[in-house]
Structure 1
């Protein structure tokens, strides 16, 4: 299946709507093929510009969606308009619902032990109890990675969600994608476990539509988020303007 894409600021982004993305995911599960998924926002694209390993991990994914509204606006400004934003947290929610409807199994990897246990309990109560193939918190040493990957393989999920910060989740999925070949859908979901477990809240819909979800997140955790958003978003704006007006100096 050929997926239409654009390229802005040395980043490939697939031009699919939310529903088209879901159809693509389900098609891969039905055909028992792996789909390595990731998302990009303004801060991640800025980080990729200086982090070659992260850039390779992201650009090598099979499906890359624009998670941030700023990326959609930038695509229009650069005359490569994306259809719409496909927020990772919304996509995970829809994928879990898809799994429940079709009796797929999911594996949850990331966040703290408290958060992941809360989320597992919630999913088992909301959906059938055997939707969970397995779960593990996101704190581990490098020499534990191979064992973790083996445990995921043994659980035989159709979907794997990895909830860790960037670039840890992107690099983990890229590094182990071949070993996890039998998992049909692998996706990095950042702080989504915290949202679904009730630890953090999403911005109101009007703030999401206005591209201010990042600001709402900043208000919840200013000490942790100020640097990411202030520096990352400013760098993204600079890179967009540079690509627009000085395309030969990329």
Structure 2
């Protein structure tokens, strides 16, 4: 069953299903997969460029458990969670597809180095992997963005993974468009650090209980306090307005509200 919440159409299926779906789309531009959580929903009301990136994505997943629960309450009983962790694990799992070329855009040199070594140890040729650490504000640096896009395309990239966080990753990919070629693109943020073995992930019990956010907060309280304890409360108002607007419509037929109409036209506020 298709799910539509906050005027976002979510793609059903497992991580592997979604990757296959993305790869099957026309190779005319980057085939971006985005993973929606509560912070994304709030940001979509503020940032027109982020909304454009979401609209242009070939697939959108329910990342946050509260969104999964809401989808199920709306009638999509089979709605499931597919996180950035799930996507990167499925994308990098053996066997490595013939001709696969991976480009990693990392938050730090350590992430790129550790993840590359893990992949090489798993049997992936080092020549098939390229990494870079972009400078802060790279998404608004036209010269750097042009050079990075050219590097991604020259590498023959088939899978581009960005671990530099939202909304920068999604906006940058959408703005570069065909200059990147037509790789499948995963914007996975912190999940790349976990895949590299540098950051722990919450235990499965906390994940199922919808408390993975609290585990992350305990490991980075100063960085995540505002997101989880200030910005997240804005979703209450968004949800109330959305529920009033779409409460009488089934989840697979109509959106639960619309964030698009309330976007503030400030595409560089990222």
Normalised-by-shorter TM-score class: 0.7 to 0.9
Contact 1:17–1:83, Cα closer than 8 Å, also in 2: no
Q: Secondary structure at the match of 2:105?
A: strand
2:160 is equivalent to residue 187 of structure 1 = no
Identify the residue that residue 241 of structure 1 maps to in structure 2. 240
Match of 1:106 in 2: 102
Root mean square deviation, CA, Å: 2.4
State the match for 2:3 in structure 1.
6
Matched, 1:116 2:112: yes
Deviates more, 1:105-114 or 1:174-183: 174-183
1:161 match: secondary structure: strand
Q: Secondary structure of the equivalent of 1:59?
A: helix
Q: How does 1:1-250 map to 2 (within 5 A)?
A: 5-28=2-25, 34-80=30-76, 83-97=79-93, 100-130=96-126, 132-139=128-135, 141=138, 142=141, 143-183=143-183, 185-247=184-246
> SS of the counterpart of 1:179?
helix
Q: Give the alignment's TM-score, normalised by structure 2.
A: 0.81
Q: Distance in 2 between matches of 1:189 and 1:228?
A: 17
Bigger mean CA deviation after superposition, 12-21 or 42-51 = 12-21
Number of residue pairs aligned between Structure 1 and Structure 2: 244
**CA offset digits 1:75-94 (Å, max 9, x no partner):** 22334556211111111111
CA contact (8 A) 1:110 1:137 kept: yes
Q: TM-score, normalised by structure 1?
A: 0.87
5+ unaligned residues in a row in structure 1: which ranges?
A: none
Deviation at 1:26, TM superposition (A): 4.6
Task: Report the counterpart of residue 262 of structure 2 in structure 1.
Answer: none
Distance 1:18 1:44, change over 3 A: same
SS at match of 1:83: coil
Q: 1:16 Cα shift? A: 3.0
Cα pair distance change 1:125/1:11, threshold 3 Å: same
